[in-house]
Amino acid sequence: MADRRTVVLYGSQTGTAQDVAERIGREAKRRHFKTRVLAMDDYSIGQLINEPLVVFVCATTGQGDEPDNMKKFWRFICRRNLPTDSLSGLHFAVIGLGDSSYQKFNFIAKKLYRRILQLGGKSLVPVGLADDQHDLGPDAVVDPWLASLWDRVLYLYPLPPGVDIISAAVCPPSRYDVEFLDANSSSPMTSSVASINGLVDGPVPSKSCPFHARLLSNERLTSPDHFQDVRLVRLDIQGSNISYVPGDVVMIQPQNSAENVSEFLSHFGLNPDQKILLKPTDPDIPLPPPWLLPQPGTIRQLVTHCLDISCIPRRYFFELLAHFADDELEQEKLKEFASAEGQQELLSYCNRPRRTTLEIFQDFPKVSSRVPFTYLLDLVPQIQPRAFSIASSLKAHPNEIHVLLAVVKYKTKLFKPREGLCSNWLARLSPEEEKIEIPIWVKRGTISFPKDGVKTPVVMVGPGTGLAPFRSYLQDRAAQGIGDNVLFFGCRNKDKDYLCNHEWRPLVANKLLQVFTAFSRDHEDKIYVQHLMAQNSALLWEMIDRRQGSFFIAGNAKQMPTNVTDTLKKVIQEEGGMTVAAADDYIKSLEQSRRFQIEAWS
């Protein structure tokens, strides 16, 4: 009998890869596999040589970088001294979760797949390349890929005689058991919520132990009549043991609005002050960190800090919710949304109008009333931290972190405007609210600028809030008196959304900076940063080629990075007298030497 064990390992910057990994884990258990689902860096990689079957689910970040929770795994698996037959006993499959608007689409999944083949692993199915840009999202690739995977897996690892696949109609066990406690119950963890505030010699803040920063200011930078609210948020990190360099990012853990929390509690008839104690039903399932939810904690703490009730639910939400429906119409509709055939309907109902988890519970009141409390933690994912490029330098602003923040708020066909969770939470905060503390930690960013004190010429292209990492770097260089900085900035109107413009004047006056501005709506013909680059092609060639400078792009991933890169290639062709192929090779050589870098987000 074949060894019916499988491990599902994921690497993800957000929760998407974990969601897919957990789905694969559930489907493996329905096929009677003993299954573990873990982040790659939580897995003891030395055991890989003993595993019969592993499924890898991985995202790609930045410019083809591995996510944070697979960095240790990635470094190990890429070691050149590993024997080429070290994984010869392993059957494996890799699926990547990416966004085709990024240049290095699913780069890590492709590299991981090739690397495991190099180490002797036996591929069950070709690498899957899911795309967020598809109308149906990642499931457009994940569904058929999984169907092929399970066909192959069951051929190699057939079910024991007399054993059938567990029907999808059987409700899976909940991830947590919940114990309801009386008001006087306590636990050692209640009084030891992780906090390092004030401990200068304490650990460096991290996701497991963040620093709770005080808000210093929250200034709107765009004019009051401009459609986009962009904020400069200043955070106090004095006593935090936090250090950062230009290009790093700050992670911020947001919370739900008081209005949404109140609606959720009311909808389910929950007592916000009820104390609860969570107990995982599987040893591989982690508890929320104690700084986020003490054990025991209250239901209000759980809903406010842990449950992402304003997220757009994934397909499994409807599949699980259908198990509790006794109303025929509600059950039929939920099953349709959960089926492969119903994905267009789900797209129209849920994804296009950006309907939230809370609103869907409200749309299905009968089934909501029947959901056991323990399953709320399966239905609603945990709130994920948000990453922001740091927009300040410690040399210019000791003990501070600045964030350049576009507040996400827009209309769909739904009556209530859609709001980004973190940006709106931050925008509503006031420095006068002394009790407000913002959980943060710092991570290395995708952009790495030339080292401190190095006088390398630098060209930066940062429309809108893409300016953030460049503001950090310009402050850093200016504090050292280093010039040779060129900034291309784009926005709509000079008088409405020209961010931080007053900061550039003294740098320009002191010959530390050249600024080229594209105000797209101030002219009859729209002008963008790439047009200004074309007009200044001789300067760009001088900076990049003759003076061996670096070129950076930061901003929205939709079209800007591609347009800017294409313009740079034309500059290289014209100024360097190169063919299209030679210009492509030139860009590749810049990338390899880290003299051409992109930080983009969708």
Residue 317 marked as a ligand binder: no
Return phi, psi of residue 330, to 5°. -65, -45
Residue 582 assigned ligand-binding role: no
Whole-number Å distance between alpha carbons of 364 and 329: 10
What is the torsional sign of CA 221, 205, 99, 383?
negative
Was 527 annotated as part of a binding site?
Answer: yes
Q: Is 195 annotated as a binding residue?
A: no
DSSP string, 10-48: EE-SSSHHHHHHHHHHHHHHHTT-EEEEEEGGGS-GGGG
Q: Per the annotation, does 62 bind a ligand? A: yes
As a whole number of angstroms, the distance between CA 200 and CA 587 comes to: 44
d(CA 366, CA 332) in angstroms, rounded, equals 13
593 carries a ligand binding annotation: no
Question: Would you say 3 is a known binding-site residue?
Answer: no
Q: Residue 421 annotated as binding? A: yes
Is 389 marked within a binding site?
Answer: yes
Output phi, psi for 584, to 5 deg.
-60, -45
Is 28 annotated to bind a ligand? Reply is: no
Q: Is 102 annotated as a binding residue?
A: yes
448 is in an annotated binding site: no
On whether 43 is known to bind a ligand per the annotation, the reply is no
Q: Is 105 annotated as a binding residue?
A: yes
* 406 annotated ligand-binding residue: no
How many Å apart are CA 98 and CA 23, to the nearest integer? 17
Contact 532, 518 (CB under 8 A): yes
Q: Determine whether the annotation assigns residue 33 to a binding site.
A: no
Cβ neighbors of 497 (< 8 A, separation 6 or more) are: 221, 222, 223, 226, 228, 230, 464, 491
Find out whether 339 is annotated in a ligand binding site: no
Peptide bond into 294 cis (omega under 30): no
- To the question of whether residue 308 is assigned a binding role by annotation, the answer is no
512 is in an annotated binding site: no
579 annotated as belonging to a binding site for a ligand: no
Whether 97 has a binding-site annotation, put simply, is: yes
Q: Residue 6 is inside which H or E element, if any?
A: strand 5-11
Say if residue 100 carries a ligand binding annotation. yes
Answer yes or no: are the C-beta atoms of 70 and 58 closer than 8 Å.
yes
Residue 61, annotated ligand binder?
A: yes
The reply, when asked if residue 132 is annotated as ligand binding, is yes
CA distance 442 to 331: 44
Please tell me whether 530 is known to bind a ligand: yes
Which tokens in the block code for residue 26? 């559930």
In DSSP notation, 426-473 reads HHH--TT-TT--EEEEEE--S--PPPTT----EEEE--GGGGHHHHHH
Q: Is 250 helix (H, G, I), strand (E, B) or coil?
A: strand
Residue 204 counted as an annotated binding residue: no
15 labeled part of a ligand binding site: yes
CB 153 within 8 A of CB 261: no
Residue 12 labelled as part of a binding site? yes
Residue 526 marked in a binding site = yes
Is 468 annotated in a binding site? The answer is no
Is residue 322 marked as binding? no
Q: Residue ranges for the binding site for FAD? A: 354, 386-389, 420-423, 601
Q: Residue ranges for the binding site? A: 12-17, 59-62, 97-106, 132, 354, 386-389, 420-423, 465, 520-521, 526-530, 601
Q: Residue ranges for the binding site for FMN? A: 12-17, 59-62, 97-106, 132
Q: Residue ranges for the binding site for NADP(+)? A: 465, 520-521, 526-530
